Structures are given as C-alpha cells and as structure tokens.
Amino acid sequence: MKSITINGSQRESVGKKATKALRNAGQVPCVLYGGDQNVHFSAPELAFSKLVYTPNAHTVVIALENGETYDAVLQDIQFHPVTDRILHVDFYRLFEDKEIAMDIPVHVIGTSRGVLNGGVLRRNRRKLRVKALPKNLPDFLEADITPLKIGNKLYVGALAGEGYTLLHDDNTVVVQIKTARTAIIDDEDDDEDELEEGAEAAATPEGGDAPAAEAPAEE
C-alpha cells in the first residue's frame, strides 16, 4: 500500500490554550495511539490534503523534528462544523507483526451486460473493512461486473483474496444491476431462443407457409 509522509513537531503542552494557539498558527493537533505511550504532535494543515481529501487508502509515515519516525494509519479526524477545517487527527501505530483493520476502496472494473441492456449500476459498498498485516493491505479491491445481468448482484465473497480478511458477511452486496424503464429484457439462456425457432420450423412444411384450415362443409 502507498504511504504518505507527514512531517510534524512533538507537542510539549496538550491543554486547550496550547491547542487553540496551534490552530491559530495553521497547525493541526494530533495524537498517535497504539504504542507504549501516546505521542502528541502537530503538523501543518496542508500536510493532510493528500491523506484526507482522496478516495484512496494510504498508510502514513509520521516524521518528527527530533528524528523519530512512526508507521501509522488514520484512525479518526474531526472537522469544524461550519468551516470544515481540520481540528484534530488521531493515528494508530502500525507494527509489522500485528494485523490492522482498515477501510479499503472498491474499484469497479469491466462492462456489465446488464448495463449495456439499459440496467442501472448501483454501488452498495464503496469501501470494505479489511484486516491484514500492514504489508498485505491492498491499495484497493477489484469488483468485476462483466458477467452481471439485470437483477444480478456481486457479493463480498467474490472479492476474497489471500493475505487479508474481509470483515463482512459473504452475502453482503457490493454492487448490483437494477432494472430501469428503458432496460431490454436479457434472456437467461440464448439457447432457449434457438430451441423455439427449431420447433416452429418443424411445424411448417418445407418450401411454403403452414396449410390453411379447411373451410367447413356446406349444409
């Protein structure tokens, strides 16, 4: 999985007054959890743009001024209710030998037969919760919709892979093809049409149309 580096400074004071001063200076107060001790630090607000304002998933390298670095993942983020500015960020520390749970985006690939016939693609899950060792975390999960017809669904079980565990029931719907007013009926089996055509041909004599019914005898 791709990683983003955030350069920060360790915080000496964590009180409300110090936190407010950081925000006024364009800094975001942060906390790193998961180690022997929590690490309090701050970083410029612009440093989080590639981490927060993106649909992709990333791990983070936190590099502090004192030379210490930590591998982490974003755990929680708080925004101002009016301005949407970042108020606070929580991270969770990564260890190579410990599994971590993380939301991974789902990328839809392929062209659905149902969509070509006028159906509507509905994405029920844009992200899925995945548990794995840091080295096995995928950048994204691929959902191939090519074989889906109108009314078909793609379930979580079809996205299973090696090295990670999907933290959802196998019957959880990821995407489905819904019926639309303009949809064309898609036969389940094209062979049925051929069988019906064969039956009609057998009932018709060679070289002409079907014989007309005899007229009733006159009394």
> Given this model, what pLDDT does residue 94 score?
96
Task: Tell me the two tokens of residue 180.
Answer: 């639309």
Superfamily per CATH, domain 101-178: Ribosomal protein L25, C-terminal domain (2.170.120.20)
> Given this model, what pLDDT does residue 100 score?
94
Q: Is residue 193 classed as helix, strand or coil in its secondary structure?
A: helix
CA–CA separation, 107 and 46 (whole Å): 27
Q: Across the 219 residues of the chain, what is the mean pLDDT of every consecutive 10-residue run?
A: 93 86 93 93 93 90 95 94 94 96 95 91 96 95 95 95 95 93 59 46 46 43
Task: Tell me the two tokens of residue 38.
Answer: 């929590």
> Given this model, what pLDDT does residue 182 score?
64
Contacts of 183 (CB under 8 A, 6+ apart): 114, 117, 118, 119, 150
CA–CA separation, 219 and 214 (whole Å): 15
Contacts of 95 (CB under 8 A, 6+ apart): 34, 71, 134
Which strand (E) or helix (H) includes residue 206?
none
**Rg from Cα positions in the chain:** 30
7 and 63 Cβ atoms separated by less than 8 Å:
yes
The residue ranges of every structural domain in the chain are 3-94, 101-178
Q: Is the dihedral of CA 127, 128, 133, 139 positive or negative?
A: negative
**What is the reported pTM?**
0.76
CB atoms within 10 A of CB 206: 5
Q: Was domain 3-94 assigned CATH 1.10.10.10? A: no
> Given this model, what pLDDT does residue 134 score?
94
